Amino acid sequence: MTFGKMYQAAIILAVLLGFSGLSIAQDDRLKIVVLGDSLSAGYQLPPDQAFPVQLQKALDDNGYNVEVVNAGVSGDTTSGGLSRLDWSVGPDVDAVILELGANDALRGISPVKTRENVDEMVRRLSERGVEVLVAGMLAPRNLGDDYAAEFDPIFKEVAEAHGALLYPFFLEGVAMVPELNLADGIHPTGEGVSVIVENVLPDVEELIARAQSS
């Protein structure tokens, strides 16, 4: 083989190895799906201010090799999340942040049904070996004390039953703070989402650690 051909072969090999290394690096990325509703999907926000995008940036800044996927659907209930669970959370997913339940409460859906749906989603994901962080929700107090007493404990109790992680209230530090919410008083602004990301980040890091060790 001439020197020229050897040089060309070396270049081709280097390129192939480079692409191979890139592919391996991409395959090694841990994949997290945020399965939620408008609160996590980024309702009325610029795309770069949605929860999954801001969470991705925070994890990137902390050196994590993670891909965060936005599987939020505005208006979705726990029934809707359950019905789309399998195609929203594919076989390549390592972990899920489950943020559903707010619309159940807003529509006055029976907490019994909400519990059944959340439990079924966490159970099915856990059986697949997918680590889960349950993001809890609180019922609006205008629904009455009895409804709140039945709704509020759902997320903690389901998480405990399946050994999943729990972030007790997704809107912690943001709910009822006017400057952190849109005019509707329900959905967080971009700044509000930043507060949520900062608060939930330690729990997401624990979720990543679990997924990496499983």
32-52 per-position pLDDT tens digit: 999 999 999 999 999 999 999
What are the tokens at 57? 């940036």
Based on the number of CB atoms within 10 Å of its own CB, is 162 exposed (0-12), middle (13-18) or buried (19 or more)?
Answer: middle
The tens digit of pLDDT for each residue in 150-201 reads: 999 999 999 999 999 999 999 999 999 999 999 999 999 999 999 999 999 9
Catalytic residue of the set 37, 40, 187, 194: 187
Query: Does 101 score more than 60 pLDDT?
Result: yes
Does 162 qualify as catalytic in the annotation? no
Query: Does 14 score more than 70 pLDDT?
Result: no
The pLDDT value given to residue 169: 98
- Specify the higher pLDDT residue, 179 or 15: 179
Query: Does 2 score more than 80 pLDDT?
Result: no
Query: Does 18 score more than 60 pLDDT?
Result: no
Does 187 qualify as catalytic in the annotation? yes
Give the number of other CB atoms < 10 A from CB of residue 23: 10
Query: Does 8 score more than 80 pLDDT?
Result: no
CB 170 within 8 A of CB 134: no
Catalytic residue of the set 37, 38, 104, 119: 38
DSSP letter at 175 equals T
Domain 30-213 falls in which CATH fold?
Answer: Rossmann fold (3.40.50)
Average predicted confidence (pLDDT) for the chain: 91
Does 184 qualify as catalytic in the annotation? yes
